[in-house]
Amino acid sequence: MAHRPNPGPGAREALELLSSVDAPALADACRRDRATAITARFMALVAARYGVAPECVVPTVGTHQGITQALFALARPGDHAIVERPAFEPLHRVPETLGLSVSRLERRFEDQWRPLSDRLARLLTPKTRAVILSNLHNPSGVAIETAELEAIAEMAARVGAQVFVDEVYLDFDFGADGKPWRPAAVAIDNGLSASSMTKVFGLSSVRVGWLVTRDPDVAEALRHANAYFHVTPPLPSLVLANAALERAEALEALARTHSARGRALVDAWLEGESRLRWVPPSAGQTGLLELPPLTPDPVFCEHLRGRFDTQLVPGSLFEAPGFVRLSYNLPPAELERALGHISAALDELAP
């Protein structure tokens, strides 16, 4: 939420945990003859997280490229995709850029941001190749429960479509016992999970991500697409990613500690801030706040930044006008100060 760039929850601790990766190891990773071993280790580590064979894992250069690579492999110009709304912009811009026709699956505040399967049924066509979602939902932080995902997958399978799910925030509760949500590649046969080192692991600068599917034919198509994107993954980055994945439990625990601490502060603040509403996020580090009526979100965010040096993301950037996305992974004192600034800005701007 702060004006200055946010390195992500636990980023400092993540770098400390990776200190065992020395310069000679990174230099050695630059040798092309090391590519097979380094990539195989990465695929094995990711596969173990999802309980799939390593051959079902495809490395990507971050989740942004993963979206493009998946649609490049699985669809052709003139095919059809269904994309949630509100949405992280690349989820709908990428299929549009690749020449797909795009329909939108509305996720509404009054429905707790759930992607209702009856709406999906009215959008599917014989040319639908992908249903594109995020879980946790970006921007609201609301999870798609497994029963809902299964209903979506069953409908998509009738027309031969894959269910592509951006799961970069789901890693905050990855494999959590007793939680009613699971990764798409684990929960459904036609699920395609996409994630990266960016959020929970706090390592956005390494630009490493992955795609996971249980379908060997889909995995093979995704691997063939590598030749058009990166051929060989960035090997020094994979070395760092491997070190992080080997310490995944510790890094995930750090991320959950940071987000839980921030979430408690936001919950306490909202109890006394009646002008704002949200659907409580299921997990993660972000939520979507509804502003008071007649308060334009871009104007509010511009005022907040200029007057109080505090930043929220306008909901309009996610096609959710009248809302703002709040990230609460800041140090407690800084977060409390920022929440006070939001209330002060409401005093000055809200009707």
Residues 253-286: tens digit of each pLDDT: 888 998 999 999 999 999 999 999 999 999 999 9
DSSP letter for 310, please. B
Burial of 314 (0-12, 13-18, 19+ CB in 10 A): buried
Mean per-residue pLDDT, 11-27 = 66
Average pLDDT, the chain: 91
Same domain, 62 and 187: yes
Predicted pLDDT of residue 11? 59
Does 34 share its domain with 173?
yes
Residue 15 maps to a domain:
no
CB atoms within 10 A of CB 274: 8
Q: Identify whether residues 230 and 283 lie together within a single domain.
A: no
pLDDT at 229: 87
**How confident is the model at residue 4, as a pLDDT?**
44
End residue of a domain, out of 191, 216, 247: 247
In degrees, to the nearest 5, what angle opens at C-alpha 219 toward C-alphas 216 and 221? 110
Q: Which two tokens stand for residue 292?
A: 């008071």
Query: By residue range, what is the domain housing residue 168?
Result: 21-247
The answer to whether the CB of 169 falls within 8 A of the CB of 256 is no
What pLDDT, in 10s, does the model give residues 154-175?
999 999 999 999 999 999 887 6
243 lies in the same domain as 254:
no
In this structure, the answer to whether residues 271 and 225 fall within a common structural domain is no
Indicate the number of domains in the chain: 2
Are 136 and 266 members of one domain? Answer: no
- Tell me, yes or no, whether 157 lies in a domain: yes
Is 74 a domain residue? yes
Confidence of residue 23 (pLDDT cuts 50, 70, 90): low
Q: Of 272, 312, 277, which Cα lies nearest the Cα of 293? A: 277
Residue in 7, 19, 1, 2 with CA at minimum distance from that of residue 247: 19
Select from 247, 263, 284 the last residue of a domain: 247
Query: 162 and 81: one domain?
Result: yes
Residue with more model confidence, 23 or 346: 346
Same domain, 237 and 270: no
Question: pLDDT band for position 350 (50/70/90)?
Answer: low
- Rg, the chain, Cα only: 20
Check residue 9 and give its pLDDT. Answer: 46
Q: Is the pLDDT of residue 32 over 90?
A: no
Q: 């505090």: which residue's tokens?
A: 310
pLDDT tens digit sequence for 81-127: 999 999 999 999 999 999 999 999 999 999 999 999 899 999 999 99
- Determine contact, residues 192/152, Cβ cutoff 8 Å: no
User: Which one, of 55, 61, 64, 46, lies nearest residue 242 by Cα?
Assistant: 46
At residue 131, the 3 state secondary structure works out as strand
CATH number at residue 51: 3.40.640.10
Are the CB atoms for 125 and 79 separated by under 8 Å? no
Contact criterion met (CB below 8 Å) for 124 and 158: yes
